[in-house]
Amino acid sequence: MIKGKNIQLFILLLIILIFSLITISERLIAEDELNESQDSKLTEEQQYAFYCSQCHALYSPKAKSANEWVKIVQRMDILMKEEDNWGKWQQIKLMSDEVKKGILSYLEKNALKSIDPDTIKNKQEIGSQKYRDFCSRCHDLPDPKQFTKDKWPIVVSRMRKYMQKEGIIMSSDDEELILTFLQDNATD
């Protein structure tokens, strides 16, 4: 008689377990579908913040030019899809093609405005040469017209500190030459 009750109890627990697993599976599928529909409701900036911050800190879109962002997003998409990386990182949510387009659109609209080195005036000036030498080490050359004369000292100072962290030494004379070049070619 005890055996019969144990079997009945075992069968009842098994039914409960199976029902629970089915319910959990249905809920997970519904959450995935919900997440996919939520992606389309996020702004491009929110998509950038969500997807890119899964693995690292966010960069300002102005840190790179539009051309540079295209290459970076393509590279990140490949890295995210490599199964080997899943073990190294937490489980990450992959970008759909629609999300990738949204992120690229946001980055391109807000990217560093770059300039073609061939269009730079006074190429022989020492300030122009220092500008090309230092600024092109990390990103495309910024268009001097994207900031006012008053903003460039803040940007150049920040870049000098960043370069020091990277082991690139810019003397105060170099900084002054670059700043003079940028301010002479900036918007008023």
- Tokens found for residue 46: 């929110």
- The Cα 31–Cα 38 span in angstroms is 10
Q: Considering only CA atoms, which of 113, 116, 182 is closest in space to residue 154?
A: 182
In tens, the pLDDT along 57-97 reads 888 999 899 999 999 999 988 888 876 555 555 677 888 99
CB contact at 8 A, 80 and 89: no
Domain ranges of the chain: 1-41, 43-112, 117-184
Q: What is the pTM of this model?
A: 0.67
User: What pLDDT does residue 148 have?
Assistant: 94
Residue 126's Cβ-count burial label (10 Å; 0-12, 13-18, 19+) is middle
Is 122 a residue whose pLDDT tops 70? yes
